């Protein structure tokens, strides 16, 4: 079943995702960086500093950056090649808070080596760097009505940076939840029931999509299948146990959204699903709760939840004070391209023709300079995304 009014729905998904990211990023704890809130207006985005670099109100982190990188890849004739050889290596120049597994994989791709061959511990990477970025695959799939193709793309995308079933199953679970909200009219319990009933669809190990020679030393299909099934079984038990009688922190503790498992792909997907149900009819309250967690991964949980809320709710749930998220016009253009049925052609039309001398080539498409800030070059892509490039 294809989705109705795709561009409008997808705009809400991307806006919800970016708003959650921008709200949660200042609250993300990291021992490696120093953060300081400078201004925090009620009902709006804060102005803050990270290692003395000023972060303007509404600016987002790697969650939205990676989502837009995947979206640009889907606007390319060969999305996998573009993501692995252009987007991930170029991410190293502008990323804002990307996780270790994603950065190590990006460095490996920059050397021309797939991470399963070039990154030690790749198969142990179970973080939420995949679940945060896969919404564009679901959008394209909803237009065509192809769930199987969507799940295949999500899985193949995930393999580019992460090898552990926690990362991949978390992304597949989130993709199915987004899909269900896009095509079904049921409630939260219907979604939870469908997630269990159709685990054989979203939760199977897609052996046919594994690249040749993918298994690292010490691993084979049999061992990996056992690990995959163990993670899947545990997720399904948690979905069946999930109760809206739990208080927010009790539920997040049970599901791993706070505590030592926070930041894994499976815990992020299930925690977002729980908060979606808990705040089925109070979306802003749920998004603010996720973004303010101190013992978790607030920007990613809020962005993943924001995508679900955007697919679930119509316009109006994001208040005026939060509509000034960074690159809003870019998010709307991206949603229009992904909802067009021809992302490659739509992106070409939206970007128009360049003006000689104003734009310069880059691995991810033409960009133009907007000056410098804090020693970084501020640039804009043809669709309107703002990047702060390390000068090389």
In a domain? residue 373: no
- Residue 350 pLDDT: 84
In a domain? residue 279: yes
In a domain? residue 386: no
User: Residue 90, by phi and psi: left (phi above 0), alpha (psi -120 to 50) or beta?
Assistant: alpha
Name the residue range of residue 137's domain.
Answer: 6-359
> Which three-class secondary structure state does DSSP give residue 18?
helix
Let me know: does 284 contact 318? Beta carbons within 8 Å.
Answer: yes
Nearest Cα residue to 63 out of 148, 155, 127: 127
Q: Is 327 annotated as a binding residue?
A: no
Each residue's pLDDT tens digit, 289-320: 999 998 899 999 999 999 999 999 987 899 99
In a domain? residue 388: no
User: How many domains are there within the chain?
Assistant: 1
Phi, psi of 383 (to 5 degrees): -90, -5
Bridge partners, 264 (sequence order):
127
> Which three-class secondary structure state does DSSP give residue 49?
strand
Phi, psi of 237 (to 5 degrees): -60, -40
Task: Tell me the H-state helices in the chain.
Answer: 6-24, 62-74, 79-82, 88-91, 100-110, 115-118, 135-144, 147-159, 165-183, 188-197, 199-202, 221-241, 248-255, 265-278, 283-291, 298-312, 328-338, 343-351
Q: Is 157 annotated as a binding residue?
A: no
Residues with pLDDT less than 50, the chain: none
In a domain? residue 153: yes
Contacts of 342 (CB under 8 A, 6+ apart): none
> Which pair of structure tokens corresponds to residue 199?
């685990």
Strand (E) or helix (H) holding 187: none
Q: Is 21 annotated as a binding residue?
A: no
Q: Is 300 annotated as a binding residue?
A: yes
**DSSP letters spanning 278-345:** HTTT-HHHHHHHHHT-SSB-HHHHHHHHHHHHHHHS-TTSS-GGGS--TTHHHHHHHHHHHTSS-HHH
CATH number of the CATH domain containing 201: 1.10.4080.10
In a domain? residue 146: yes
CA 12-73-174 angle, to 5 degrees, is 50
In a domain? residue 389: no
Q: Is 61 annotated as a binding residue?
A: yes
Q: Is 62 annotated as a binding residue?
A: yes
> Which pair of structure tokens corresponds to residue 110?
């920059």
In a domain? residue 376: no
CB-based burial of residue 331 (10 Å sphere; 0-12 exposed, 13-18 middle, 19+ buried)? Answer: buried
């Amino acid at each position: 079943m294809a989705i109705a009014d795709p561009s409008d729905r997808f705009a809400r998904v991307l806006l919800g995702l970016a708003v959650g990211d921008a709200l949660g990023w200042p609250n993300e704890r990291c021992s490696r960086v120093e953060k300081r809130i400078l201004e925090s207006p009620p009902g709006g985005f804060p102005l803050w500093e990270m290692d003395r670099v000023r972060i303007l109100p509404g600016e987002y982190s790697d969650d939205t950056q990676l989502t837009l990188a995947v979206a640009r890849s889907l606007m390319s004739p060969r999305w996998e090649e573009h993501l692995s050889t252009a987007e991930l290596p170029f991410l190293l120049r502008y990323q804002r808070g990307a996780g270790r597994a994603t950065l190590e994989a990006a460095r490996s791709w920059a050397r021309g080596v797939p991470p399963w061959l070039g990154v030690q511990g790749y198969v142990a990477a179970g973080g939420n760097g995949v679940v945060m970025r896969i919404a564009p695959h679901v959008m394209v799939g909803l237009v065509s009505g192809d769930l199987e193709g969507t799940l295949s793309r999500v899985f193949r995308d995930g393999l580019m940076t992460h090898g552990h079933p926690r990362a991949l199953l978390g992304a597949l679970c989130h993709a199915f939840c987004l899909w269900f909200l896009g095509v079904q009219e049921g409630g939260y319990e219907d979604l939870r029931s469908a997630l269990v009933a159709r685990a054989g669809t979203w939760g199977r190990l897609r052996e046919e999509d594994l690249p040749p020679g993918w298994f690292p030393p010490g691993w084979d299909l049999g061992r990996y299948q056992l690990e995959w099934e163990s993670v899947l079984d545990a997720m399904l038990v948690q979905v069946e146990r999930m109760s809206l009688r739990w208080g927010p922190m009790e539920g997040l503790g049970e599901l791993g959204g706070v505590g030592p498992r926070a930041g894994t792909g499976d815990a992020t997907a299930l925690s977002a699903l729980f908060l979606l149900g808990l705040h089925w009819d109070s979306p802003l309250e749920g998004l603010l709760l996720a973004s303010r967690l101190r013992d978790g991964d607030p920007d990613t949980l809020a962005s993943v939840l924001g995508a679900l809320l955007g697919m679930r709710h119509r316009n109006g749930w994001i208040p005026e004070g939060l509509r000034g998220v960074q690159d809003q016009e870019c998010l709307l253009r991206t949603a229009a391209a992904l909802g067009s049925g021809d992302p490659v052609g739509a992106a070409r039309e939206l970007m128009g023709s360049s003006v000689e001398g104003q734009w310069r080539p880059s691995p991810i498409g033409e960009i133009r300079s907007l000056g410098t800030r804090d020693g970084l070059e501020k640039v804009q892509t043809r669709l309107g995304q703002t990047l702060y490039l390390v000068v090389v």
